Amino acid sequence: MEITVSENQDQVHLELAGSLDDQGAGELRQSLDLLEQSAGKQVVLDFAKVSYVGSSGLGVLLQLYKRLSLQGTALKIVNLPTFLRSLFQVVKLDELFGISPAQ
């Protein structure tokens, strides 16, 4: 999985590309350490180039949500492909995460 991180005054933007499977989840988990320094900023995950999300990926997203909530930081998901939006709806993550069509 490729993860591109950009940051401005009020937002950290992570562009994800590839599969959020066991390996991709581990890579995303490592990138989360960067977010420790970004308390108070909105975190945006761009899923436009994500081709697959497995259970490990969902677990990392839940960990991220919990970690950010404790910091008072908002999490937003953008550009979620239709097939992944269906998955998020089935497991009710669409109710937990802020999901937008685009940013």
Domain chopping of the chain, boundaries: 2-100
3-state secondary structure of 90: helix
7 versus 102: the higher-pLDDT residue is: 7
The CA distance from 91 to 42, in Å, is 23
Instruction: Count Cβ atoms below 10 Å from residue 39 Cβ, excluding itself.
Output: 11
**pTM for this prediction:** 0.88
- pLDDT tens-digit readout, 31-75: 877 666 656 678 899 999 999 999 999 999 999 889 888 888 888
Measured CA to CA, the distance from residue 6 to residue 8 in angstroms comes to: 7
Q: Can you give the C-alpha Rg of the chain in angstroms?
A: 12
Q: Provide φ and ψ at 56, rounded to 5°.
A: -65, -40
Kindly indicate whether the domain formed by 2-100 is annotated with CATH number 3.30.750.24. Answer: yes
Structure tokens at 63: 């960990």
- pLDDT above 70 covers a percentage of the chain that reads 90
